[in-house]
Copies of this chain bind each other. A is one copy, B any other.
Amino acid sequence: MKKINSSQVEERFLNTLLEISKTVKKNSERININQILKLIDMIIDVDSSNGMIFVYGAGRSGFIGRCFAQRLMHLGITSCFVSDAVTYRYSKEDLLIIISGSGITTSPLAIAEKANEIGGKIALFTGNPSSAIGNLSDLIIQVEGKSKDQATSLITLAPFTSLFDISTLAILDSIGASLMGKLNITETDIDKRHASIE
């Protein structure tokens, strides 16, 4: 890649936005909707039987995961992001949602192995279903978008894992929208649970 001049920056910026937009759309076409429906039911089932939802991911996947852990709380679902000050004890009744594009990231893999040993459920958002974490998971959502293992080989405008990260956030927020519908939760309900000092 050659250094671009200022007049090319605008084009690159706008084309990257369009690439992201198209990748999100592509997810709506290719996603395994049955797995999404199963995950939504799993979240509701775990929550309604007093289980908790744990979310984990490393790096940017972790920041995307934190967005979802917070949204679950907004919906009245007991959740935590693993490593936050309040990280509950994970047990058989709980669901661990892991985000790992490659499916082999160090700490998510170790945490999935431990969760699997304890015996709770695991759901994975990944670009690589047949990965080590995939093999430990009860449910896998395959996400369109470049994950870390493709970062230097697959040519895209959006840097590194950006397409995977944004696609995953879009899918998780669409799951949030679906949960709102299924649980009959309104924006006003969310507002009543949203942080007021932050």
Q: Using a CB–CB distance below 8 Å, which chain A residues touch chain B?
A: 1-4, 6, 8-10, 12-14, 16-18, 20-22, 24-25, 27-28, 31, 33, 36-37, 40, 54-56, 58-60, 62-67, 69-71, 73-74, 79-91, 96, 105-107, 109-111, 113-115, 118, 148, 151-152, 157-160, 162, 165-166, 169-171, 173-178, 180-188, 190-198
Contacts and interface: CB of A to CB of B under 8 A. Distances in A.
What number of copies of this chain does the assembly contain? 4
Given A18-B25, A89-B194, A159 B182 contact: no
Contact of A158 (B6, B9, B148, B177): B177
A10 B33 contact: yes
A82 B197 contact: yes
Contacts of A3: 181-184
Majority secondary structure, A binding face: helix
A2 to B, nearest CB: 7
A162 B68 CA distance: 10
A66 B85 contact: yes
Nearest to A34: B10
A182 B171 CA distance: 31
Given A85-B80, A152-B188, A17 B193 contact: no
A60 B54 contact: no
A37 B6 contact: yes
A126 to B, nearest CB: 16
B162 A106 contact: no
A43 B3 CA distance: 16
